[in-house]
Amino acid sequence: MKSNPEDSLDEAKIAALAYRYLDRRLPDAKRVILHEHLRRDPQARMTFVRCLLQGVELEELLSAEKESDSSSALAGAAAVHAEQGDWQLDSMAGKAQNIDARAVPSRRALAPTKPPLVGTRLFDRIFTNDQGRVNAPRILASIVAAMVLGAGLGIWVVRNTGGISSNSSDLVAIDELDDPQSEQSPISTAVLVNVTNCRWDRTRSTADLAGGGLKPGQSLHLLEGLAEIQSTLTSGSVGRFQLEGPSAMTLSDDGMPNLLFGTLSAEFSFRRDSFRVGTPLGEVVIAGDSSLGITAAADEVELHVFSGTATLGLWSTSTTSNSDQFVKADAGTSLRVRIDADGKISVDRDTASENQFVTPASLAASQLSISDQYVSAIRQSQPIAYWRFEEERDGLVRNEVADRFHLHLAGDAVRLRSSQGTRCAEFGITAGPGYMMTDDVFDGVIKEDYTVELWAKPTCFHHGALFSLINWTPDVNPKGQHRVYLEFCGPRDWDYQTPGGMWESDPGRLLFINCRSEVFSSTPYVVRKWQHLVALRERSSMRLYADGRLILTDKNSEQLGSGMRVLMGQLYPPSRLIRDDVTARLYSGELDEVALYDRALSEAEIHRHRELIKSSADAEPRDSI
Amino acid sequence: MSLCQEDIIHSLLSNRAIMLAYIRTLVIDRDAAEDVHQEVVIQALRAADTIKDSRHLLAWARRTARLKSLEYLRQKRRQPQHLDPDVLELLEPSWEAESSDTGQARAAALSYCLGELTPRARELVKLRFVDHLNGIQISNVRGLKVQSVYMSLSRIYHTLENCVRRKLTASGA
């Protein structure tokens, strides 16, 4: 890079600076150079603008192709090369089609493309006037809906490019740079590309958790949360692995995960070779575009194949023979392999269960359909606050029943997202904090009895703070200030180190705290499925209901006191008085229709509210841990 | 004389990519740009009566996008990391020059031109624009120097841009 701004920068270098700028990887010196050239060179300005424009056009075009289930430009490109006798079909085409055929990604953490924030709600906002009448023709609405859904232009284009044909004589080669590094033989690599609420066992993990690059022999011990790893083979084949805590893996010499225990799901996009994933009982070999899930323990492995095929090569357990056994599993089937105390191996076959794993399809399976009847029923029950998360305005989510107790959104990890024609709150979309909190306090509003009613869909088993009433102001240390607290517990028994020793949790249960009473639910919660939760206190009794069933009851007659605010999404509000990145209990999942009452709802009301919403995809929840 | 809502939608639809790119220069973040863009669309439809013509609309939309972007950065309490204000001003004519009704033709040409890339270049395109990896992540995945990744991307840009312009010229768009 020439450092003298008087020198002219060619188009490629301006473009390189533009990409760095978008990545926030522009060192000060380069920033100065970019500024100077943009100030004095009209051509540089044009290049900068066109580079940014082309980037967006490519994103729109390629994401539209993924969604349109038509042959993609990459697929088309590969096809062109194949037709022309080029060496092989590009695996990216297959990957795009494979993803299309399965599911719509629902979480940014898992699928980097953000699902559109608006659907029919934006339609309503644009085309409905204050009296609720539609302002514009329906066809217009469709166009705008398509546009804001992020697919419109791209899809139009994809469907209208049939007239353009390729010409082999026009082929342009993009060579790697003269840089000697680029001439090196590529090696298999693995990189940690995404983490969601990950808590690592840092004493046992040898991988560089901060840098993200994984080297052969290194290990990852994940206590809780989701980690996404991408492995790329020398051929360009790509495997994406989702590790769900608690899990542990090492990285093999060829860049493949070796799952020691826990849960892993994976998607593979192939060129011409195979992926091998190690387990305690054998090696899973995958040799075609496919997706699967694996659970592993010392003496048992389950392999679920969602698309494509996989073969489990079992290690030999015989002292007289070295011959391994190979068991094949096709799409939609699963294998459960156990090794008994006498060394015998048993293999059971069943259907594949995608709900057990964090995949785009399992995350999208359970949808919440809110009816007008439900909303009316809640209003008839006269909550003091009702947050529907339909709209964020000026950083606030409004309380639907009064002009106070509005929630303000804070942090990058929370947003509102569209689902089934309505919107809900989604937490844990980035690794950092994200919460919602009221600025008003509930003094004089809640005296003794109360009810918190909500719908929640946790992404995985983890410690996630759903809802709390906390007596807090910014100059007060928030520790010990909770009056009411509702939490999803993590997947392990012994968990957090506290000044009083290890805090014992009840894995997979719900924790309900009322003042000094801490009680765990008798049954586990369900991951990746919407569930109706009601926590209440009535006179001297505290109770918790899940989907209309009573799962917790205890005695408590303590007064809540004053100064309480609502906090959702994490244990503590940010405070200069604590540095608590271990017990922040960031919630990862979705939340909707939160209502707070100044009385105890009756069982009849709870059942009626539950029955008014039928959560889809009820089948096959993962209800045990 | 003002634009009707259909005209506004047509114009914003044709210029969606350039509006998003414009907003990205301010907020950088892709998702945030989407959010700001949605707000601009809504505002434009509400302000339909006051918008004279398509050119006026796009200038208005950029100005609104700029305000909304700054508002977004304030709300999120993020330090603006965008270009200096005087440089942003200097870029305005370039954004205006790129605004047109040829968005569909450009995208069609771009779709074609992707087919002309080598497999390795296409893979870089996929990592960058489908998987949304940044330069460092791509360098980790591909085992390249970070600088090499950025230069490769810039060469891809150059090739695609030349190809697109060739195709547009040939088709008279």
Q: Which DSSP string do the residues of chain B spell out, in sequence order?
A: ----HHHHHHHHHHTHHHHHHHHHHHH--HHHHHHHHHHHHHHHHHTGGG--SHHHHHHHHHHHHHHHHHHHHHHTTPPP-S--HHHHHHHHHHHHHH-SS-HHHHHHHHHHHHTTS-HHHHHHHIIIIIS---HHHHHHHHT--HHHHHHHHHHHHHHHHHHHHHHHHHHT-
Q: What is the ipTM of this complex?
A: 0.94
Q: Determine whether the interchain pair A144/B131 forms a contact, defined as Cβ–Cβ distance below 8 Å.
A: no
B48 in A contact zone (CB under 8 Å): no
Decide: residue B49, CB within 10 A, 0-12 exposed, 13-18 middle, 19+ buried: exposed
Per-residue model confidence as pLDDT tens digits over B92-143: 888 888 876 666 788 888 988 998 888 889 989 999 998 888 888 888 788 8
For the stretch A271-311, pLDDT in tens is 656 778 889 888 898 877 889 999 998 788 999 999 888 98
Q: Which of A214, A268, A188, A208 is CA-nearest to residue B142?
A: A188
Task: Tell me the three-class secondary structure of B7-43, residue by residue.
Answer: HHHHHHHHCHHHHHHHHHHHHCCHHHHHHHHHHHHHH
What is the distance in angstroms between the CA of the first residue and the CA of the last residue of chain B? 28
Q: Running DSSP on this structure, what letter comes out for residue A169?
A: G
Residue that has been written with the tokens 């771009």 in this structure = B110
* Residue of B28, B127, B130 to mutate when probing chain A, most A C-beta within 10 A: B130
Query: Diameter of chain B by CA atoms?
Result: 58
What are the Cα distances from residue A238, in Å, to A195, A228, A332, A354, A421? 18, 13, 22, 21, 35
Whether cis (ω within 30° of 0) applies to the bond prior to A246 is: yes
Q: What count of CB pairs under 8 Å joins A to B?
A: 277
pLDDT of A10-67, one tens digit each?
788 899 999 988 888 877 778 888 888 898 888 999 999 999 999 999 988 887 766 5
Domain architecture of chain A: domains with CATH: 183-362 (2.60.120.1440), 434-609 (2.60.120.200)
- A574 touching B (Cβ < 8 Å): no
Say how many residues make up chain A. Answer: 625
Which of A329-338, A359-368, A374-383 shows the lowest per-residue confidence on average (mean pLDDT)? Answer: A359-368
Tell which B residues from 103 to 142 touch A, by Cβ distance under 8 Å.
Answer: 103-104, 106-112, 114-126, 128-137, 140-142
Chain A, residues 177-236, CB within 8 A of chain B, namely 177, 179, 181-182, 184, 186-187, 189, 191, 193, 212-213, 230, 232, 236
Residue A113, token pair as written in the block: 């493309």
Report the share of chain A in percent with pLDDT over 70: 70
Residue A324 is predicted with a pLDDT of 53
Q: Considering only CA atoms, which of A105, A81, A108 is closest in space to residue A93?
A: A81
pLDDT in tens, A253-279: 777 888 988 999 998 876 656 778 889
pLDDT tens per residue across span B69-100:
888 877 765 555 678 888 888 898 888 888 76
Average pLDDT over chain A, rounded to an integer: 74
pLDDT for position A136 = 37
Indicate the burial class of B120 (C-beta count within 10 angstroms; 0-12, 13-18, 19 or more): middle
Instruction: Specify whether the CB–CB gap between B114 and B77 falls below 8 A.
Output: no
Q: What is the pTM of this model?
A: 0.53
Across chain A, which distance is largest between two alpha carbons, in Å?
83
**CA-to-CA dists, residue A69 to A78, A358, A505, A556, B105, angstroms:** 16, 23, 45, 56, 21
Count CB atoms within 10 A of the CB of residue A612: 17
Whole-number Å distance between alpha carbons of A454 and A370: 12
For residue A228, how far is the Cα from the chain centroid? 10
